[in-house]
Amino acid sequence: MSKWLLVPIIVVLMGFVVVTLIRGVIAFLRASREDIDRGEGEGPSPNQLRQNKLMFARVKYQGLAVAVVIILLMASR
């Protein structure tokens, strides 16, 4: 694979990381007192589920970006 193909992929993945990070922070800031004070056995609120989903998406995109960087470094040797 050419570095000219991998660099734009890294940039796109970094963009996904930033977007999901911002969306996750916004979801975190929208947490209401009800979300925080939910009792045992009630389960997570929809907002908490959204925060969790966005966190996992961010971690996935970061992992993919790191994998592409490793491939780029291996290819440049």
Higher per-residue confidence, 44 vs 2: 44
Q: Is residue 37 part of a domain?
A: no
Query: How many angstroms separate the CA atoms of 72 and 74, rounded?
Result: 5
What pLDDT, on the 0 to 100 scale, is given for residue 62? 96
Q: Is residue 68 part of a domain?
A: yes
Q: Is residue 18 part of a domain?
A: yes
What are the tokens at 8?
């734009």
Burial of residue 41 (CB within 10 Å: 0-12, 13-18, 19+) is exposed
SS3 3: helix
pLDDT tens digits, one per residue of 6-60: 889 999 999 999 999 999 999 888 887 777 777 667 778 888 889 999 999 999 9
Q: Is residue 66 part of a domain?
A: yes
Q: Is residue 71 part of a domain?
A: yes
Q: Is residue 40 part of a domain?
A: no
Q: With 0.85 as the threshold, say if the pTM is over it.
A: no
Q: Is residue 38 part of a domain?
A: no
Q: Is residue 24 part of a domain?
A: yes
Contact (Cβ atoms closer than 8 angstroms) between residue 14 and residue 73 = no
**How many folded domains does the chain comprise?**
1
Query: How many angstroms separate the CA atoms of 9 and 24, rounded?
Result: 22
